[in-house]
Structure 1
Amino acid sequence: MSIRLDNLLATRVHPDRGLPIPSSSISAPIPMELGGAALRGTGGGVTPSTSCGRRGHTAGRCCFCFSWSRGGRQSTVESPQVSKHQTHPELPVAHMFVFVEFNECSPHSQHKALVDSGAAGNFIDRTFALSLGIPIVSLDVHFPVHSLDSRPLGSGLIREATAPLSMVTQGSHEERISFFLIDSPAFPVVLGIPWLAYHDPNILWQQRALKGWSRGCLGRCVGVSIGATTVESPEQVSTVHIPSENADLALAFCKKRVTQLPPHRRGDCAINLLVDAALPRSHVYPLSQEETAAMETYVAESLGQGYVRPSTSPASSSFFFVKKKDGGLPPCIDYQGINQTTVRYSYPLPLIASAIESIHRARFSTKLDLRSAYSLVRIREGDEWKTAFSTTSGHYEYLVMLYGLKNAPSVFQSFVDEIFRDLLRQGVVMYIDDIFLYSATRAEHVSLVRRVLGRLLEHDLYVKAEKCLFFQPSVSFLGYCISTSGVEMESDRISAVRNWQTPTTVKEVQRFLGFANYYRRFIWGFGQVAAPITSLLKGGPVRLRWSAEADRAFGHLNDLFTSAPVLAHPDPSLAFIVEVDASEAGIGAVLSQRSGSPPKLCPCAFFSKKLSPAEQNYDVGDRELLAVVRALKAWRHWLEWHNTLFSSGRTTVIWSISGQRGDRTLARQGGPCSSHVLILRSPSDQVPRT
């Protein structure tokens, strides 16, 4: 077994001056003459270095006489001292270090540990170990330690080792480890081949940085304490507050890595064109001086990153800018022509409402946002020419996927789903470039966050540090505020609807209804309330005819949204209660459960639907029965083969479900009732809602 000489680089810059090496008695060797040592026995001694006067090495191998700059300039460094308070000196940057903690002996104190890929064992300085009060045990077999050239290191035989102790590396990686005792004050802790072989960490030797741990470590050596620490990576990682458990995964937040061209992968964006489809040929838009400067900057940066390249494609899409309110000029490419001739990729996006309904036991949440998400996916090789666009300065094509392409959302969703397939709905929700993590306990959440960040690094994916939230009781995700108590509308969305101006055009009505439909699950009887507004769009009118009835409905919806309740997370271990109602215009239902102490009836979701002209002819009992059937279909994934208490304002619905009414149409629609266990409650059994 041998240990690589850590000062080998010094011998190249300053060759050995050929000094004789007579025998001498040495009480303590210069520490990292350990580098390149072997655990075997021979004789020999050393003279002091002519540069620093220290014993144990020649001037050419003096690790204290050189600063490891490219120019090889010499600089004298003071003798390192190890004190009780751990004031280690600045060490040569040619070595690689990690920070370790021995919580059993010196809680919350970090110490530098040398990572030596040639050290035959794990070593600790005797004085340092004694200062921390680390337990020491005697070895049954004693052995000397030698350098690569067979010179014995002057500490004599290794006779002792530490008892197994807990060591935390980089704030997150915890293990039980023993060290051999040596005299090495400059390098108090040395992690050698046994440590590297056992943990197999991912190390960037050129940057001398630990990128991450092996998969075995992620499930085996995770620490349990969580604290905010500021991490600043040498590769332009944003300085942000990251839990200390994830400090060694700081490269996941690296900005510089995102600006590099990603490799081709299995999930590359394919652009398959329809047979005999005409290629788009768009014209070049004239640009203002400000826009021309912005265009030239954008093209130059994209060429430098490798995202685009000059093109000879027969296809062409227009390039232009849409000025923002803040004066920004984001570039836009009109891909309508190529999208019309592209074969649709129908990979589904997740049902957000369904995904967040499963978070009924979460106590800790984390939100991650992928940086430059679409740019992390390459265009399939050979399809780049289909993304060509024309500017006043030339014709270019993309090598990475970008917004505006027809299948981009589905391609990216498929890409991330494949990466996190085993974690989906097991604490991870993926929606394109947004990641939501949830766990019931802190320990589970620490492990989950590490697994996700490690998985991202494995696939060269990176996150926006400034948009991440860790270990929060509540997190805003896709317009919802998700907490332990339930789901509610984001406060920003409530403010937006409160300040929403009365629509004056068809487009504005469509925009408002799009917003309202996204949050309709928070509103009781949404379909009936919004009916006067939705009826304005019947027949596809060109001009808007806003009515007094629509104005009242608009104001009522605003009031309902600003006072929307918190929806509880459905708990499959509890019974469900469904209350239904019907009017001449629509039907509605609310799904509830009793929870808390004392038990309270809490809404989990609302359902509503506007009635068709034929359904409006039903009598009241049939309309309420229709509400029951539609509610069962809407919440089938929760109610099927589950005890469900149904409540209606009218006794007639009970007769209908019991088969005492003979409407054939409703009988056919009532098929879903056969797979549900229904417990009916009459109007006299109504329980007050809280």
Structure 2
Amino acid sequence: MPFGLTNAPAAFQHFMNNLFRDLINVTVVIYLDDILIFSKKPKDHPTHVREVLSQLMRNQLFCKLSKCHFHVTTVDYLGIVISPAGFSMDQKKIEAVTSWPQPKTVKQVQAFLGFVNYLRWFIPNFSSVARPLHNLTKKETPWSWGNLEETVFQELKLLVTQSPVLVHSNPELPYYLETDASGVAMGAILSQQGLDNRLHPVAYMSKSFSGAEANYDTHNKELLAIIKALEEWQIFLEATDKPIQVFTNHRNLEYWMQARTFNRRHARWRIFLSNFNFEIHYCPGKQLGKPDALSRRADYVEPTQDPEVMLPAEVFANTSEEELEIVTEICTKLKEDLSLEPIIKFLTEDANNAPPSIRKAYRDYDWEEDLLWYRGKLVVPDSEPLKE
């Protein structure tokens, strides 16, 4: 064994994978010495069990009878309870989290996060919620346990106790994907419709944006949230023959695939998205509550950095602020343009209560950052100064 016992787990896993290579993901799931045997039909299960036991016997591998469970419909495998209803947390792990004492050191915070991280698939927007605690583990961050950290610590414990059962994915049913992006992270929920005609979660996802991604504008962050979700659940979504119903609270994404001009990043994204059969639907933020609920809390957003002077003005031959001035001028003229007043009023007030005819007439418009957009393009008021 190379490098001694340090590589023992990896070597043993490789040995088990090779031993059951014809059965893995067909009737068997293996993690080290934990073997899960599953069957689609009850009548086939004895045969599958016999195959596994025979292979173990031929290789002189022995099982401890007291640790074996045969012919059950519910099993605790690696801390996850698998049942006909779906996947849920092990009650012992829930109790371990809820009784966890307040961390006093960085190592204790890391231990708590490491334990809770195992259950992240059951916690919506885990990355956003846990971010303040993750910040404490950074080398450059001095230790400070305040009200924010205590609130997040207690909220994570509460979210664990309220975790739902994740249903089994059914490739015969259409998928519903809800995504949302905030300043620092994205969240997504993959769901399918149950027999009660309600959507039930198949999986949750939450990821922080990298340094470069965090600097993207709102449009690109919302699009990136969709792409990250499709990557995460590619094994489910790439092969489905039914259109994936994608819901976002960014209206302009409805028309993104119709665009004819792209930058290099958008070209890469478009190639990736071409592998999926999906439809994007606009859903107002108030209705898209689940992936949005925790990602937009003010105490999770990093404070805005003040502008920093990198080079003195004297080193430049000239400076220009025309772009900023034009945007400011457009904002001002939009509010002065009486012909656009009904549209802006519709978008900035309660659009859901407007008559259907009005909603249909203005459905292609969007209001973001005090600017009016039509199918993803900026609306410029009819103003002589702007024309010049």
* Common topology (TM > 0.5): yes
Q: CA deviation at 1:583?
A: 1.3
Please give the alpha-carbon distance, in whole angstroms, between the structure 2 residues aligned to 1:424 and 1:494: 30
Q: Does 1:555 align with 2:164?
A: no
Counterpart mapping for 1:524-673 below 5 A: 524-539=124-139, 544-595=143-194, 597-642=195-240, 643-659=243-259, 664-673=264-273
Q: CA deviation at 1:485?
A: 1.1
Q: What does residue 90 of structure 2 align with?
A: 490
The alignment partner of 1:424 has SS state of coil
The alignment partner of 2:227 has SS state of helix
Identity across matched positions, percent: 37
Please give the alpha-carbon distance, in whole angstroms, between the structure 2 residues aligned to 1:612 and 1:670: 21
Equivalent of residue 277 in structure 2, options 665, 673, 677: 677
Please give the alpha-carbon distance, in whole angstroms, between the structure 2 residues aligned to 1:563 and 1:579: 20
Q: Does 1:506 align with 2:102?
A: no
Equivalent of residue 73 in structure 2, options 473, 477, 497: 473
Q: CA deviation at 1:560?
A: 0.9
Q: CA deviation at 1:528?
A: 0.9
The alignment partner of 2:66 has SS state of helix
Q: More strand by proportion, 1 or 2?
A: 1
The alignment partner of 1:471 has SS state of coil
CA contact (8 A) 2:179 2:187 kept: yes
CA contact (8 A) 2:178 2:288 kept: no
CA contact (8 A) 2:244 2:279 kept: yes
* 2:87 partner letter: V
Q: CA deviation at 1:620?
A: 2.6
Please give the alpha-carbon distance, in whole angstroms, between the structure 2 residues aligned to 1:507 and 1:551: 16
Residues matched between the structures, number: 287
Q: What does residue 360 of structure 2 align with?
A: none
The alignment partner of 2:152 has SS state of helix
Q: CA deviation at 1:538?
A: 2.2
CA contact (8 A) 1:591 1:604 kept: yes
* 1:548 partner letter: N
The alignment partner of 2:70 has SS state of strand
CA contact (8 A) 1:506 1:544 kept: yes
* 1:428 partner letter: V
Please give the alpha-carbon distance, in whole angstroms, between the structure 1 residues aligned to 2:12 and 2:180: 41
Please give the alpha-carbon distance, in whole angstroms, between the structure 1 residues aligned to 2:90 and 2:126: 19
Please give the alpha-carbon distance, in whole angstroms, between the structure 2 residues aligned to 1:530 and 1:454: 46
* 1:473-504 CA-partner distances (Å, limit 9, x unpaired): 11000010011111111110000111111111
Q: CA deviation at 1:546?
A: 2.0
The alignment partner of 1:515 has SS state of helix
**CA shift in 2, pair 1:486/1:537, >3 Å:** same
Instruction: State the superposition RMSD in angstroms.
Output: 2.3
Counterpart mapping for 1:137-148 below 5 A: none
CA contact (8 A) 2:86 2:165 kept: yes
The alignment partner of 1:599 has SS state of coil
* 2:198 partner letter: K
Q: What does residue 460 of structure 1 align with?
A: 60
Q: What does residue 411 of structure 1 align with?
A: 11
Please give the alpha-carbon distance, in whole angstroms, between the structure 2 residues aligned to 1:444 and 1:406: 39
Give the TM-score of the pair, scaled to structure 1.
0.40
Please give the alpha-carbon distance, in whole angstroms, between the structure 2 residues aligned to 1:437 and 1:607: 27
Task: Give unmatched runs, 5+ long, in structure 1.
Answer: 1-269, 272-341, 343-386, 388-404
* 1:501-529 CA-partner distances (Å, limit 9, x unpaired): 11111111111111222221111111111
The alignment partner of 1:469 has SS state of coil
Please give the alpha-carbon distance, in whole angstroms, between the structure 1 residues aligned to 2:239 and 2:189: 19
The alignment partner of 2:186 has SS state of strand
Q: CA deviation at 1:607?
A: 1.0
* 1:6-27 CA-partner distances (Å, limit 9, x unpaired): xxxxxxxxxxxxxxxxxxxxxx
Q: CA deviation at 1:625?
A: 0.8
CA contact (8 A) 1:528 1:586 kept: yes
Please give the alpha-carbon distance, in whole angstroms, between the structure 2 residues aligned to 1:591 and 1:533: 26
**CA shift in 2, pair 1:681/1:458, >3 Å:** same
Q: CA deviation at 1:656?
A: 3.1
Please give the alpha-carbon distance, in whole angstroms, between the structure 2 residues aligned to 1:551 and 1:416: 43
Q: What does residue 423 of structure 1 align with?
A: 23
Give the TM-score of the pair, scaled to structure 2.
0.69
Q: CA deviation at 1:670?
A: 4.3
Please give the alpha-carbon distance, in whole angstroms, between the structure 1 residues aligned to 2:37 and 2:69: 10
Please give the alpha-carbon distance, in whole angstroms, between the structure 1 residues aligned to 2:220 and 2:257: 10
Q: Does 1:443 align with 2:43?
A: yes
**CA shift in 2, pair 1:509/1:499, >3 Å:** same
The alignment partner of 2:183 has SS state of coil
Please give the alpha-carbon distance, in whole angstroms, between the structure 2 residues aligned to 1:623 and 1:437: 41
* 1:43-82 CA-partner distances (Å, limit 9, x unpaired): xxxxxxxxxxxxxxxxxxxxxxxxxxxxxxxxxxxxxxxx
Q: More helix by proportion, 1 or 2?
A: 2
Q: CA deviation at 1:647?
A: 0.6
Q: CA deviation at 1:657?
A: 4.1
* 1:249-279 CA-partner distances (Å, limit 9, x unpaired): xxxxxxxxxxxxxxxxxxxxx23xxxxxxxx
* 2:137 partner letter: L
**CA shift in 2, pair 1:538/1:671, >3 Å:** farther
Deviates more, 1:663-672 or 1:477-486: 663-672
